[in-house]
Structure 1
Amino acid sequence: MQDITTYRVGDATITKIFEIGLDAVEGEFLFPGVEADSIVRERGQVGPGSVDPHTGSLRLSIHSWLVRTPERVVLIDTATGNDKERPGAAVLHRLNEPFLDRLRAAGVAPGDVDLVLMTHLHADHVGWNTQLADGRWTPVFPNARYVFSGRERAYLAALSAADGSDAAIRDAAGLGRMLHPPLPGVYEDSVLPIVEAGLAREITVDGSEVVDGFRYLPSPGHSIDHACISLTSRGERALFWGDVMHHPLQVARPDWNSVYCEFPDAARTSRRWAMNHAAETGSLVFTTHFAESSAGRISRDGDRFAWQFA
């Protein structure tokens, strides 16, 4: 069921557009290398909306955030999409979900969207950029400008070309060791068609304002040029976290990387930065993979952080 709760930040309203729930994720899978006893100990501090009290499995969500301001209709990240070939990630493979119906139920048709802002270009953040039409991947939001990191796009393109040019991009990023590349196929079906349609706006992730109070804040590690996206409206702040975290357990254990984090050392650094930034600015945080409301606030006590769902 779609969460229809709408939050207000200044003049903006923010609504979660649900795609799929992941209700049986094993902690040892999500956090590889972490001892099972540690996971058991930490999950006892998390409520039943995020951990199944009977099985101990973790609960996650995949969704987008719809942001409406007086000037614009904005979608932040576009979930997984239907019909995408993702054999390397079974839960994302060939979905058939009524995501666009849920968007319409929130009062927005695809043609109403002005901006699509992407925290990064992983499979479950760009999928509804495109849909199959007569055997071709075509833009879902034809009147929108799709905004994303130029470095992320160049990296995916280099991996797609398989010509070795990805190594130079990794060296330039300076993020240290890499555990794995992103899923294949994402560039071809969810990014390249947007570029070819002339709808892409590639940016440098440097904290500067992109448009109307939105800023891309550097938080690399989960991906090569991951960004948190901030929104400031009438002195109030929202922070769209992307994938600096996947589950509330990481608030107490920011040293735990998810299985999907590509550059582990940088991911840990960005996770701590994101929590500190959220606490210092008093931002209302909108996550991409926390279950329940998926929104909340971070507080800090010395070196420790706490999460409270909104």
Structure 2
Amino acid sequence: MITTRVAPVDGNDRLRRPPRLRTIRLGRMKLSYVPDGAVALKPSGWLPNATEQDWITYADHLDENGHLVAGIGGLLVQRGRRALLIDAGIGPVVAPDDPHNPMTGAVHGGALLRNLARLGVADRIEAVAISHLHLDHFGWTLREGPGGTAPFGAARYLVADTEWDWWHSLTPELIDSLPDWAKGSITTPDTLAVIAPRVQRILNGEEIFPGVRAQAVPGHTAGHTAFAIKSFGRRLVMIGDAMHTPAQIANPEWFCAADFDPEEGVRRRRILIDRLATSGDLAFGIHFADVPFGRVHRDADGRTTWVPVG
């Protein structure tokens, strides 16, 4: 439990407030963070090898309860009249803090479809690409939209081949062995059966939309996928859950307790941060509070930090 006293959130504290709808231009594309809600992450449980002294250093990332604020939502990619959604929020879920859960606190979702309607694309999404099969990344695909319709029309659901197979390999015995709080993060084959008829399996390196390619970044899950978006020489990498907070940009060794393979996650995170710092490419962190778009800056001493954009 983090006991560091932090100041109340104010209007300028983007590192510790829930995300807002934000849009940037990338060449001829328009990219929008589409909020669905947020979840409170308990720092000492979520990032177990970060120390209490670390969180004194990063107190500006913690809300008034001492929690990290992680956005939940999706990245909308628009190219002319065409639209792709990457990740689909958690859906209309509201849950209070469970003191027995050492990793997450209160969670709320439900705003994604309203925000897509605000952007005027609710009926134009041709595909939903899913970075990985944790419920806060594909929750709306399991729900109904207004009037009982499918929330994304006839859109295909794009899932990495490795990710789809891995979740189907989990046995009931393995799931039963987990503590009750951890079982909530497991996606069962019965849940996946709901979306199976619309799933299109994709491969590493495959172009899934003009200018958008899948990139395997395993660690958080076995088939966790990032997406590289390129237009007129400009590039952005949607990093998914390779990182959950901007503080990991400076501390890539901080692994997440929910990682399937923490060691691989750290290795991949170091590679990703180095490439972003070297290239100057933009990046998008879906859980980065209200600073989802940014760049990785490396100073003269080699230290990397997150610089928000937009």
Q: What TM-score do the two structures reach when normalised by structure 1? A: 0.79
Q: CA, structure 1 residues 6+96, in 2 after alignment: closer, same or farther (shift >3 Å)? A: closer
Q: 1:72 pairs with 74, 79, 82, which one?
A: 82
Aligned ranges for residues 10-159 of structure 1 at < 5 Å? Answer: 10-22=27-39, 24-41=40-57, 43-44=58-59, 48=60, 50-52=61-63, 56-70=66-80, 72-82=82-92, 91=106, 97-109=110-122, 111-132=123-144, 139-159=150-170
Cα shift readout 1:107-139 (whole Å, capped 9, x = no counterpart): 121x32111111111111111112158xx9x84
Percent identity among equivalent residues? 27
Give the Cα separation in 2 of the matches to 1:141 and 1:187. 22
1:271 partner amino acid = R
**Deviation of residue 277 (structure 1)?**
2.2
Q: 1:294 pairs with 264, 286, 292, which one?
A: 292
**Deviation of residue 210 (structure 1)?**
3.1
2:129 partner amino acid = L
Q: Is the 8 A contact 1:223 1:262 kept in 2?
A: yes
Give the Cα separation in 2 of the matches to 1:14 and 1:91. 28
Q: CA, structure 1 residues 182+234, in 2 after alignment: closer, same or farther (shift >3 Å)? A: farther
1:272 partner amino acid = R
Cα shift readout 1:148-182 (whole Å, capped 9, x = no counterpart): 111111111222x6488xxxxxxxxxxxxxxx898
Cα shift readout 1:212-253 (whole Å, capped 9, x = no counterpart): 111111211011011210011111111101001001111111
Structure 2's unaligned 5+ residue stretches are 1-17, 175-181
Q: Is the 8 A contact 1:209 1:215 kept in 2?
A: yes
Q: CA, structure 1 residues 182+255, in 2 after alignment: closer, same or farther (shift >3 Å)? A: farther
The answer to whether residue 196 in structure 2 is matched with residue 195 in structure 1 is: yes
SS in 2 for 1:114: strand
Cα shift readout 1:263-298 (whole Å, capped 9, x = no counterpart): 110000111111122223322111110012311111
SS in 2 for 1:140: coil
**Deviation of residue 83 (structure 1)?**
5.4
Give the Cα separation in 2 of the matches to 1:129 and 1:84. 17
Q: What TM-score do the two structures reach when normalised by structure 2? A: 0.79
Give the Cα separation in 1 of the matches to 2:275 and 2:36. 28
Partner of 2:185: 183
Give the Cα separation in 1 of the matches to 2:183 and 2:206. 28
SS in 2 for 1:13: strand
Q: CA, structure 1 residues 96+209, in 2 after alignment: closer, same or farther (shift >3 Å)? A: closer
Partner of 1:216: 214
Q: Is the 8 A contact 2:62 2:69 kept in 1?
A: yes
Q: Is the 8 A contact 2:35 2:111 kept in 1?
A: no
Partner of 1:173: none
Partner of 1:282: 280
**Deviation of residue 99 (structure 1)?**
2.3
Q: CA, structure 1 residues 259+216, in 2 after alignment: closer, same or farther (shift >3 Å)? A: same
RMSD, aligned CA: 2.9
SS in 2 for 1:243: helix
Give the Cα separation in 1 of the matches to 2:93 and 2:21. 25
Give the Cα separation in 1 of the matches to 2:287 and 2:280. 21
SS in 1 for 2:120: coil
Q: Is the 8 A contact 1:286 1:294 kept in 2?
A: yes
Give the Cα separation in 1 of the matches to 2:185 and 2:66. 28
Give the Cα separation in 1 of the matches to 2:42 and 2:127. 35
